[in-house]
Structure 1
């Protein structure tokens, strides 16, 4: 009986100690003289870059929702189809199971997007959308820059002009890159297309792999240089 009482006492102590634990969200790193955001905006930014706004699509126009459903259906279905038709499953693409899966997936997406929200959820969604819109306007009007920090899992907010000056100073101090005298985009793209055609011609890759890897000249672009601010240094 005494040992049983000790176990109960230990459990009570653990439960009481957990109540004193306070969750902490990482505040944004503000590299400005004054804070241009009000309390609601700052609290929203403090949720961090990993926060997902609730019911984002529910307050969009129906045409935008339908476009999003179409894009998601295409993306999910193509990944599942390519996985199941490849090794080791090797299911034929004309198998009826793919049509069934496509229909079920589309029904699920339609139900998920068009199920009416409760009044409270609608208010929360609209409020968060308004807060986010006001944050964007402040960033644009004040010519600010917002970036995800390198290790802090929070936002860096600073002047876009000063950020550009720091980047320029970094280039001049370290000289890590060489400015090209021409745009190599077309040359690189032609080499990729030639290589894919060669691989496909020798039957070293399958048709669906060839189609997926074939770059689109209208949407492709060269890699960009960007910086993740190191606020921990």
Structure 2
């Protein structure tokens, strides 16, 4: 249309200028629209990045906080174990150094009696005197052999008097390898007053 020879040169120039301005305005509007779109896209991506960053920081903070708490708990447990170990070592050292201390397992499970050796010996003697069931071997000679000899002599006498047969005597007589003297262990009764022994 602009190449039409019937149009005047000035009119042609005016139309060209007008079309050029329209095209330029269109290009400008298109560029503005594109820029606005890009800015919106950038803003959206920035917001997504900010949200992700906040989530990451929150999860990292929680993970870091949990790791610190776990570490603190482990350190506390390790310190408690260390203190208990030191206490056990102290008690063991104290027991080795002091011969006047006695440690015995009680008649209740998982309970130990710690007391003076003098008190323990006194209570043991009182118990043996009261019950007359035990006798302390003082001369180093075991009375078991004498007791066995007395029993064998009695059975031989009963066989000779025909009160027992030889077969009955052999079944009743104690076997030497099964014999053992009764031992007094002196187990403390911690649940009773003054902790008596049994």
Scaled by the length of structure 1, the TM-score of the pair is 0.28
Answer 1 or 2: higher relative contact order, Cα 8 Å, separation at least 6: 1
Indicate the structure with greater helix content. Answer: 2
| TM-score (ref. length: structure 2) | 0.32
Q: Which has the larger radius of gyration?
A: 2
